[in-house]
Every structure is written in structure tokens, then in C-alpha cells.
Amino acid sequence: MLGVTSVKNYYVLSNGRVRRESNTLYIETADGAKKPLPVEDVESLYVYGEVDINTKLLNFLSQKRIPLHVFNYHGFYSGSYYPREYLHSGYLLVQQVQHYQDAEKRLALAREIVRGSAHSLLRNIAYYDRRRPGTAAEREPEGEIGNAELPGDPETEAAVDAALDDPSVDTNFQADDDLDPLESSLTLNDDAPSLGQIRATVTALAALIGAQTHVNAVRGVEGKMRERYYQAWRHILSSEWLFERRVRRPPDNEVNALISFGNSVLYTTCLGEIYRTQLTPTISYVHEPGARRFSLALDLSEMFKPLIVDRAIFRLINTGQLDASHFDKSMDGCFLTDAGKRLFLRSLEDRLATIIKHRRLGRHVTYRHLIRLECYKLVRHLTDVEPYRAFRAWW
């Protein structure tokens, strides 16, 4: 209908085997059930259960350029089988490294990526501020699953862009701890600040991004913005869902379990999109490159978490699709059950498949493809075609 190619991730939650038979992929469960997968429609494979594989399968995945991502039972990322790179560019690799090594070039990219992240945070806050009790938008449908071409908010977009691009701010902070003086002036003396107050605080923090002269300081501003953003969740989520602060390993409640699980899925989705380009996933600009992680995927995922992961969480909770039965607290921490994983993964796939008309390209694209386009924009920046401008939702 819209001319958008439909590819998606496939998730294996049951124990069993994934194998190749002729030119077809099959998932075989422990009870003997056998399900074929349409190989040409598979973007990536995600394995959560105890699954047997062999080199015949890995060779086939490499031939079809399908990454395989492995997670432990609780949904924490373990690693990936990354097929042999097929889009090589020695020139781009050199440029990617040079932009990391050149402090000024790296800082410029880090600032812009965090601006994109700030924009996404503020758009979510503004969206739910407009829907607060007593407003005309309170009873609007939750989210934009399937087609996101809903009326935008030009006033909000203009205000956010003005804050992000304000050249008049000259305050500079060298590290996270140096933001404490700023905290005292921006933090509200209120145990439960309103969405409007939180929005003002995040906007004030966002205005400082361009003034930072060290990447560590840029990360510090981003961290403080996200802390304030999480304060807004008490206004967004149904009242019976408790969320005080972000707790990671292990997550201590249902909301933290959802955030951790969803962020892992998005991280590997970003990794898969990087793989489809000539970029090297281990060289990044906001996060420090390090052992055992693809840090460029972390950079990209920060911009898309609010749009994809967080909005999926809000929708599932506020429409009553999730309840206590979807979580397991019998071990140290709180984790999704298999039923909860299936429900959440289905919601995440719905969001990745959401279609919008790209206002610059003039054609329809999915949210998943927006991540690929972000990679292409980085390539164009690194090769001096055009300066990078981070993703900003316009709808």
C-alpha cells in the first residue's frame, strides 16, 4: 500500500533449536513443534531461550546477512553473531577514527547527538503534558501505532529547537559532579514537580549542551536531563505503577524491568542498522569506546529510546495490557515472564514498524528505517558531504 518493505526481528523465547533445512530457517521447540521463518523478511534473530545452533546455521545466517543476538533468561544482552561485513570502506573507517581522535570534531558530534536525545525527551514530556487531566487532549488515543502521521505541535518544536540551539549560554561544566550548582538552581523544591516544571528544567539543561567544552560534561548534562525526565513518569504512568528512580542490574520493580528489557532490544536493533551501513560500531562519540560493547549503538539508541521503548511502555501500562502476572519477583530483582516478554516484544515491533511520511525524503519510512537514516547522516558528516543534524521528531 505505502511501498514500505516489511522486515522484522524474530524472537525465540522457547527452548529448542534453530536450524537450516535447505534454504529455510526453522525454529523447533522442545515439544517437537516446527515453525518455518521467511528468510527474506528476517532483519535479525533474537534468542532468549536455551537454543541449540550449529555452524551450518551460522554460515547460512552469514550468507543471508542476518545478525543473531543472544540474551540470558532475564533479557540481558549476552552477545551477537555478527556476519562478515560486506560494506567495507577503508576511507570511512579512517574518517570515523579521525573524528573520534580530534577533540573538537568529537565534541561537535557528541553535542549534536545529545541535542537529539534532549529533543526526544522533551517531545515525550510535552506530549503527555498536553494530555494531562482537564485538557482537551486527555482522551486522545494513546500513541500512534501503525501510522504516526498525526498533527504535530509546531509551538513545542520551535521552543525545543530554540533551547537546543541557544548560543547565549556560556556556562561550562567539566564533569557530572560539576552540575551540582546547576542542580540547586534548576531542581524544584517540590516532592512531585508538575510536568510543566519538569519540562522547564529539562529545557534549561538542554540549553547548556552547546556550551560544554568536554565530552564528559556533555554526558553529564545528558544524564541530568534523563534523571529529570524519569521524574515525569509518575505523571505519565497509571497511579498503581510505582517508579521512583532508574535501577538497572538487577531492576527492582516492574517499570525498571521494562526499561532494561526494552533498551537491550533497541541497542541490538541499532547495532543491526549500523551493520547495514559502512560504519564501524565500536567507534563512538558520546559514549567511550571500550571492550565488549558496540558503543556507537549506544550513541544512536539514546535518541530513539523515548520514541520507541518508552512510548511502548506507556502504552502497555496505560491501556491495562500489563499486570502483575507478567512479572517474576521470585529471584533477586524483578523480571518479565515469558508471557510478559512476548507482549512487550510485540509492542516494540509495532513501534519499529510504525510508518511516517518523511518530510525531507517525501516518502514513507518506518521507525526502524529512521535509525538507518541516522547512520547515513553520520556517514555524510564524516565524509564532509553535509554537517550532521541529529534526529528530531517532527510529528
Q: Which residues are annotated as a binding site?
A: 222, 287, 302
Looking only at the bridges linking them, the beta strands covering 42-47 and 8-12 are parallel
Coil, strand or helix at 331: coil
Q: What residues are designated binding site for Mn(2+)?
A: 222, 287, 302
CA 25 → CA 17, 21, 32, 53, 322, distances in Å? Answer: 10, 6, 15, 11, 32
Please confirm whether the linkage preceding 141 is cis (ω < 30° from 0): no
| Whether 317 contacts 326, CB under 8 Å | no
State the Cα–Cα distance between residues 141 and 115, nearest whole angstrom. 28
What is the b/e burial string over 193-212, where b = at least 16 CB atoms within 10 angstroms of the residue's CB? bebebbbbbbbbbbbbbbbb
Rounded Cα distance, 395 and 123, in Å: 10
Residues 6+ apart with CB under 8 A from 42: 7, 8, 9, 10, 25, 64, 66
Bridge partners of residue 327, in order along the sequence: 336
Residue 111 identity:
R
The Cα–Cα gap between 123 and 306 comes to: 9
Residue type, 115: R
Q: Are 149 and 367 in contact (CB under 8 A)?
A: no
